[in-house]
């Protein structure tokens, strides 16, 4: 490979061949490093390893997962932003957390415009749920109960600064109520509090609640996806109930700014084919990964719009 490139440079210098000519092998010529900003074995790591294992079938090279955890993802995402934009360093990103960090922490060493966005794989919408025997059937039922008896509605969530905190802040501002928001370290202790009658509702992600629904311990009153979710088709979206915003956790792929078009298209295509692969779809269902593929153009617009929305919200209503 090195000899071939040296010959190409000599030919180019002599004016016989342009440096962009066929002497350089078609992309990809070697494995691509995929940075995951969280620990091995976690949800993001498992999702990345699963999708890229299938994507290799349609790529012509291997994808090598490299975990760079720390600072809620900031270390890994900074490493992606600072990588070489040659097509051999990409990474998994997790909006909205990926977007929230530089908004809340101006000293963060990356911004959205430091990346080329390749594709989205997972959209895991937020949900609000209650006990199956609860009298509240909709999100608006909860709000009306709080209006009639202030302090009545307590809701478990993952704490300040999270996407759940943002959702509840927006609901409060639009409805004019103040909910009793009870922070928990994850959805599991929040569900324990719900089932024990210590809170009236819980805010979590859809992928976290299937087991509770199947076991008869949870009934959903609203979902934060753009449209109704196929897995819970009877649950109305927040938008349907008058709250015009989306709440969802995404998992997608990005590269350092300046990614060659050939590389972007090759990676995007391999991911698209992976998501369309019936074997992968079965595996994603087993792992409770709600799939929502977006190609580079759609994903770029989606995240730019989300980023602008988050920035405006932070300026007027920090959560």
Contact 123, 303 (CB under 8 A): no
DSSP-derived secondary structure letter, 237: B
Phi/psi at 72 (nearest 5 deg)? 60, 30
How far, in Å, CA of 8 to CA of 21, rounded? 8
Q: Residue 20: pLDDT above 50?
A: no
Give mean pLDDT, residues 212-236: 94
Q: Where does the pLDDT of residue 160 fall: very low under 50, low under 70, confident under 90, or very high at 90 and above?
A: confident
Mean pLDDT of 262-283: 98
The CA dihedral of 78, 96, 305, 227, to the nearest 10 degrees, is: 150
Q: How many angstroms separate the CA atoms of 2 and 277, rounded?
A: 36
Taking only the tens place, the pLDDT of each residue in 190-222 is: 999 999 999 999 999 998 899 999 999 999 999
pLDDT (0 to 100) of residue 316: 86
If pLDDT is split at 50, 70 and 90, which confidence band does 163 have?
confident
Instruction: Report the chain's mean pLDDT, rounded to a whole number.
Output: 91
Does residue 302 have a cis bond before it (omega within 30 degrees)? Answer: no
pLDDT at position 100, please?
93
Domains along the chain? Answer: 32-123+249-316 (3.40.190.150), 125-241 (3.40.190.10)
pLDDT in tens, 127-149: 999 999 999 999 999 999 999 99
Helix (H, G, I), strand (E, B) or coil at 135: coil
Helix (H, G, I), strand (E, B) or coil at 263: helix
Each residue of 276-296: pLDDT tens digit? 999 999 999 999 899 999 999
Q: What is the pLDDT of residue 288?
A: 87
H helix and E strand count, the chain: 11, 10
Distance of CA 299 to the CA centre of its chain: 11
Mean pLDDT, residues 169-180: 94
Q: Residue 44: is its pLDDT beyond 50?
A: yes
* Structure confidence at residue 16 (pLDDT): 45
pLDDT at 15 over 60: no
Give me the residue label for tokens 């649950």.
235
Q: Find all residues with CB under 8 Å of 138, minimum gap 6, and list them.
A: 221, 222, 236, 241
**What are the strands, taking DSSP E only, across 132-287?**
154-157, 180-183, 201-205, 219-223, 248-256
Which of 51-55, 117-121, 167-171, 269-273 is predicted least confidently? 167-171
pLDDT of residue 187: 86
Residues 6+ apart with CB under 8 A from 93: 37, 77, 80, 115, 250, 251, 252, 253, 254
32-36/63-67 β-pairing: parallel
Q: How confident is the model at residue 308 (pLDDT cuts 50, 70, 90)?
A: very high
């Amino acid at each position: 490979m090195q000899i071939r490139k040296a010959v190409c440079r000599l030919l180019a210098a002599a004016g016989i061949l342009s440096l962009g000519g066929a002497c350089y092998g078609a992309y990809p010529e070697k494995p691509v490093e995929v940075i995951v900003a969280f620990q091995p074995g976690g949800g993001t790591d498992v999702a990345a390893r699963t999708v890229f294992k299938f994507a290799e079938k349609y790529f012509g090279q291997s994808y090598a997962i490299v975990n760079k955890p720390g600072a809620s993802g900031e270390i890994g995402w900074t490493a992606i932003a600072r990588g070489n934009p040659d097509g051999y360093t990409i990474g998994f990103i997790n909006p909205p957390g990926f977007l929230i960090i530089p908004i809340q922490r101006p000293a963060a060493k990356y911004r959205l415009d430091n990346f080329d966005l390749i594709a989205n794989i997972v959209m895991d919408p937020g949900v609000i749920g209650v006990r199956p025997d609860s009298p509240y059937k909709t999100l608006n039922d909860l709000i009306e109960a709080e209006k009639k008896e202030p302090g009545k509605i307590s809701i478990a969530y993952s704490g300040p600064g999270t996407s759940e905190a943002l959702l509840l802040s927006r609901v409060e501002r639009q409805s004019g109520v103040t909910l009793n928001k009870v922070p928990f370290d994850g959805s599991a202790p929040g569900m324990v509090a719900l089932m024990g009658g210590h809170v009236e509702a819980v805010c979590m992600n859809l992928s976290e609640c299937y087991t509770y629904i199947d076991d008869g311990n949870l009934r959903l009153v609203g979902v934060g996806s753009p449209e109704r979710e196929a897995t819970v088709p009877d649950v109305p979206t927040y938008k349907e109930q008058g709250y015009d915003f989306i709440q969802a956790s995404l998992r997608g792929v990005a590269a350092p700014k300046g990614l060659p078009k050939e590389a972007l298209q090759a990676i995007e295509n391999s991911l698209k084919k992976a998501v369309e692969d019936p074997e992968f779809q079965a595996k994603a269902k087993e792992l409770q990964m709600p799939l929502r593929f977006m190609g580079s153009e759609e994903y770029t617009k989606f995240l730019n719009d989300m980023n602008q929305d988050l920035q405006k919200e932070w300026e007027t209503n920090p959560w």
